[in-house]
Amino acid sequence: MDIEQIAIKYKKSESAVWRNFDKFEDKTRLKELLFKDINLVIDTTYFGRMIFRAHGVNLHYQQVGSETIAWLCKGLDVLDNLGYSYKSVTIDGRTGFINYLKMRYANTPLQYCQFHQKQTVKRYITNNPQTLCGVELKALMKDLLEHDYDSFNKKFEALKNKWNVFLKERNESGEYKHRRLRGAFHSLKKNMSHLFAYKAYESLKIPNTTNSCDGYFTHFKKRINRHCGLTKNRKIKLIEFIIKNSYLGTFLHIRPNF
């Protein structure tokens, strides 16, 4: 339910609904899971919140200026103090994040988001690769979910070796001719060891993507964007409300006080 619908339901003007919203104080606390051994998913949204989520529930969030290890550490400290332990961590973050998590939780499987990996490769080679090497790499990525580490890495290495000379070609200035293709191969090689943790530890039921967050954010963004022209304070308040309630329907939990 959005502002227009609420205004119609209670026979009030939209400005009256907004005034009521401005007065509203959301004292909701984020839910805590009764079980503490969780499959953690971490992502940062377009509106500058780092979300820590597990099993469909937002466990912690924080406003961040940028994705830094310091912010990651701060959020994990909060969850650690709440008594959570981690069967796995799924992340789409930078290499520094992965290295930090490996150091902090040495025995915890890390899963790099397969969706983001596919998107990264697609950005490099586009939907319509102009070289046969790109076409074959696209076909390999299409079958990513069908593989485990060993089978995918075997095909990846074979493809890389097949096109090794081609990928090393340089122009008259001495620069690599196929830099975007090389970037795609480099990204896969860098993340390979963390792309298939969910297959290596099937009993842990590790999420292989951060889609728990991304799908939530997509609906979230649509709800926020429906209310164009929001003041900064109202937008922040609305974002905080939806996150804390893990809820996609705007305002349904607000009791009007006209």
88-99 confidence digits (pLDDT tens): 999 987 788 999
Query: 43-47, 53-57, 107-111: which range is least confident on average?
Result: 43-47
List CB contacts of 138: < 8 A, sequence separation 6 or more: 121, 122, 125, 129
- The dihedral sign for the CA sequence 16, 235, 240, 214: positive
pLDDT at residue 19 above 90?
Answer: no
Average pLDDT of the residues of the chain? 83
pLDDT digits (tens, 9 = 90+) for 163-204: 999 999 999 999 999 999 999 999 999 999 999 999 999 999
pTM over 0.75: yes
List CB contacts of 237: < 8 A, sequence separation 6 or more: 21, 22, 26
Query: Could you state, in order of their start, the residue ranges of all structural domains in the chain?
Result: 118-192
pLDDT digits (tens, 9 = 90+) for 157-168: 999 999 999 999
Instruction: For residues 88-115, give the mean pLDDT.
Output: 92
| Res 145: pLDDT | 94
Instruction: For residues 49-62, give the mean pLDDT.
Output: 86
